[in-house]
Structure 1
């Protein structure tokens, strides 16, 4: 089986390759092609992967190229993890938004809209190239904003594009452990929403929903990351455990203040950190294993500082060891490929077409829910209706996503302004206009907006 990774010079690619190294079953991935527009990043990550494969019998062969059609030919699966504008673009998204007093996070609020406006045109073109060059390939999208980009690519490729995210997996695992599950992966998680906008409404162990037991125990609620982030009182009020990204909505003022007071934004931190890593990994004449060691050190620091401003705003303290372990999106991607390629039926939380799952959204809307996966793809399971407090957020954010898709298609500046103005975290049409002005001035990728 052949896997192509778009954004193959990305920092998290070794996580995917590490998961592939652990798969010894028949029909596993035996060839990986890395595609990236940045040759230096591609070389550095290829070195890390070579260090990972050292001493591993029958490790998947790795090739690297900056020729997109060459990368796509004969691919069975295409993993999309591109970053249009790079981390410099992410830092700009944060800076422009925070100057207006609104959130600049890369998937939520103004920053997410700016990132989407840059990314959707590129994602659509990638989907068209895949349709021409590898029409039978399945596309696994991890490019952010994941739900929005998945929906854009589905316009060209339909249900052969499936979006993944590690946030619901990590949340479900943490809840299951607090509830005493010996094997957290065996829990059934009643999770529903959009990407980075979802709630765990139940967690079933042995056929019984154990979430009410957790919600009745303040100490247990505040013993894991999301519980500390939101506080037991709020979780009991809404009767669910939100995805960590909902902290930006429920505690927006506090989050914005923490980001404005930080020494540097998350994007700027990652930009500087990764510059240092790629320079070290690309240095000629290194000893064997040096590139992998540099990557391991950088990843540990990256994970430890994840959502640090939100934890500071909430007084949640440092991340605990259980929150730092891997086993996130790379394991979801591997399980998804196995299920489709080998018809190994499984259940995963994925970003897929709504069809009739949530009555408040149309059939083409991409949602994030548990899905049954087999050789024919991912099929959303039936879920209970959203509570009203969630309906408002989900429908408002989906409306914003649709305006982003429309603006990216038409090039209409007015539609882009509408996307910003309709978002729950942008509090003024005047602010929306200034955001569009700021982003178009700083991002050459947005020159298409007129």
Structure 2
């Protein structure tokens, strides 16, 4: 099978290739095409992959290029991990929002709206090209904001585009291990939108074990989300939120921590990755070793400002293991290609699973996956406070989609102004003006 990776020069591509190297079963991916618009980044990542493949006799063959149609030709799966505007754009998103006293994170708040506004038109064009050049391919979307971009691409690809995220998988795995359960055998009751979901149950042998965790304050203080949100708040909620909900529940503290930080996360990653790509591109440098060092630093500093605001301290070793989006992607591909039934938390069209949202709305819920794709499972109804927040954020996403579809500046303004983390229409006007000035990709808004 052939896998095409859009954004093939991206820093996390070696994670995907590393997962493929461990798959030796019949029907596996044996060809990988990297597509990127930046030849230097593409060359550096291809070098890392070549070093990863050393000593693996059946390593998938890798090609790299800047011709999109050539990369898509014959693809069975397409993995989308693009970053429109690069890390410079992310740093601008954060800077402009923080100057107004609001959150600028890349998927949440004003930064997420800005990123969506410039990414959706590009994602729609890619979806059209995929539908034309590789109509039988399944598309796995990891481009952020993942739920919004998946919904945008679904307009052209239908259910053949599926969004993935490692955050809920990692959360479920941490909870299962705390409770002494096998994460592979536990059934996680999780629902919401991408980066906006809650674990409301963890079932093992027909019994919900989550109430036992919520009743044990020592256990709640022993894992990352417990330290981030605090035992009192988790017990009050009766659920464990996705880590990104810290931006909502502790917004003042998070904004203050980000404003006081020496660098924003985007600026840190921009500078860090610039050093990596420069080093990896030099002759004689062991690119894989340089990549490993950079990745370790990246993981250790993840959400550092939130942990500081919460007094949660440094990340524990167990917290450094993410959900492994590359493993989610591999499991998804295997389930579809080999008709191996798998249960995964994915971003798919709602189809009546979450009340209050229409059938086309992309939600993040457990799904059963097989040859026919991903089918969302029934989940526990969201409590009113969660359902209201989900509906509010989905309405913002719909305004972003409308702005991209019609070039509507008014819709873009509504997206900023209606977001729960933007507290003033006046601020929304200034945000839109600031982002339009910083990003040429928003010139389509009229």
TM-score higher than 0.5 here?
yes
- Take 1:178 and 1:321, find their aligned partners in 2: how far apart are those partners? 14
- Take 2:184 and 2:37, find their aligned partners in 1: how far apart are those partners? 36
User: Within 5 A, what are the aligned runs for 1:90-239?
Assistant: 90-181=90-181, 183-239=182-238
Unaligned runs of 5+ in 2: none
User: CA 1:270 to 1:326, structure 2 compared with 1: closer, same or farther past 3 Å?
Assistant: same
CA deviations over 1:358-414 (Å, ceiling 9, x no partner) = 121000000000000000000000112110010110000000000000001111111
CA deviations over 1:257-290 (Å, ceiling 9, x no partner) = 000000010000000000000000111233xxx1
**More divergent stretch after superposition (410-419 vs 225-234):** 410-419
3-state SS, counterpart of residue 332 of structure 1: helix
User: Within 5 A, what are the aligned runs for 1:211-290?
Assistant: 211-286=210-285, 290=286
3-state SS, counterpart of residue 363 of structure 1: coil
Normalising to structure 2: TM-score of the pair? Answer: 0.99
- Take 2:28 and 2:418, find their aligned partners in 1: how far apart are those partners? 45
1:185 CA displacement:
2.1
Task: Give RMSD over aligned pairs.
Answer: 0.6
Unaligned runs of 5+ in 1: none
- Take 2:113 and 2:231, find their aligned partners in 1: how far apart are those partners? 31
- Take 2:410 and 2:424, find their aligned partners in 1: how far apart are those partners? 15
- Take 2:61 and 2:109, find their aligned partners in 1: how far apart are those partners? 40
Query: Which residue is equivalent to 2:437?
Result: 441
Q: Does 1:353 align with 2:352?
A: no
Query: Which residue is equivalent to 2:82?
Result: 82
Query: Which residue is equivalent to 1:397?
Result: 393
Structure 1 segments (4+ residues) deviating >4 Å: none
CA deviations over 1:142-188 (Å, ceiling 9, x no partner) = 0000000000000000000000000000000110111012x222210
- Take 2:121 and 2:328, find their aligned partners in 1: how far apart are those partners? 26
3-state SS, counterpart of residue 184 of structure 1: coil
- Alignment equivalent of 2:318, drawn from 295, 316, 322: 322
- Take 1:156 and 1:15, find their aligned partners in 2: how far apart are those partners? 28
Q: Check whether the contact 2:168–2:323 (CA below 8 A) recurs between aligned residues.
A: no
Q: How many residues align?
A: 446
3-state SS, counterpart of residue 314 of structure 2: coil
1:327 CA displacement:
5.2
CA deviations over 1:40-69 (Å, ceiling 9, x no partner) = 000000000000000011100000010000
CA deviations over 1:274-314 (Å, ceiling 9, x no partner) = 0000000111233xxx1000000000000000000000000
- Take 1:431 and 1:151, find their aligned partners in 2: how far apart are those partners? 27
Normalising to structure 1: TM-score of the pair? Answer: 0.98
- Take 2:57 and 2:223, find their aligned partners in 1: how far apart are those partners? 38
1:208 CA displacement:
1.1
